[in-house]
Chains A and B, each alone.
Chain A
Amino acid sequence: MGATIQAIEYVFPKNKVTNKDLLLQFPEYDFKKFDDKVGISCRYYVDENETGLDLAVQACEKLFQRIDSATIDYILYCTQNPDYILPTTACLLQDRLGLSKNVGALDINLGCSAYTYVLSLAKALINSGQAKNILVVTAETYSKILNERDCSNRAIFGDAATATLVSYTEEENFGDFLFGTDGSGVEKLFVKNGASKYKFESNPEVKTYGSGNFYTDNDLYMNGPEIFHFTGEVVPGFVEELLEANQVEKDHIDQYIFHQANAFMLNFLRKRLKIEEERFFIDLRDGGNTVSSTIPIALKKYSQKITEKETLLLVGFGVGLSWSGGLVTINNKL
Chain B
Amino acid sequence: MNKAEFIKGLEEELELEITLTAETDLKGLDEWDSMAAMLLIGYVSNEFGLTLTADDIKNISTVQSLIERIGVEKFN
State the A residues within 8 Å of B (CB). Answer: 29-30, 33-34, 37-38, 152, 209-213, 223-226, 228-229, 232-233, 262, 264-265, 268, 271-272
Contacts and interface: CB of A to CB of B under 8 A. Distances in A.
A72 to B, nearest CB: 41
Given A226-B53, A262-B38, 13 more contacts: A34-B35, A37-B35, A210-B33, A211-B33, A224-B38, A225-B38, A226-B54, A232-B41, A232-B45, A264-B38, A265-B42, A268-B45, A268-B46
A19 to B, nearest CB: 13
Nearest to A268: B42
Contacts of A152: 33-35
Given A229-B54, A271-B46, A211 B41 contact: no
B7 interface: no
Contacts of A211: 32-34
B39 to A, nearest CB: 7
Contacts of B33: 29-30, 152, 210-212
Contacts of B32: 211
B31 interface: yes
Contact of B35 (A30, A209, A229, A271): A30
A152 B38 CA distance: 12
A55 B76 CA distance: 56
A233 B49 CA distance: 10
A212 B45 CA distance: 26
Contacts of A228: 38, 41-42, 51
Nearest to B51: A232
Interface residues of B, number: 19
A38 B57 contact: no
Contacts, number: 63
B15 interface: yes
Overall SS of chain B's interface: helix
Listed from nearest, the 3 A-B pairs whose CB atoms lie closest are: A210-B34, A211-B33, A225-B54
A226 B37 CA distance: 11
A213 B38 contact: no
A258 B34 CA distance: 22
Given A30-B35, A33-B15, A210-B34, A233 B51 contact: yes
B52 interface: yes
Given A226-B53, A226-B54, A265 B46 contact: no
Contacts of A212: 33
B38 A33 contact: no
B28 to A, nearest CB: 11
Contacts of A224: 34, 37-38, 54
B37 A210 contact: yes
A186 to B, nearest CB: 14
A232 B46 CA distance: 11
B31 A30 contact: yes
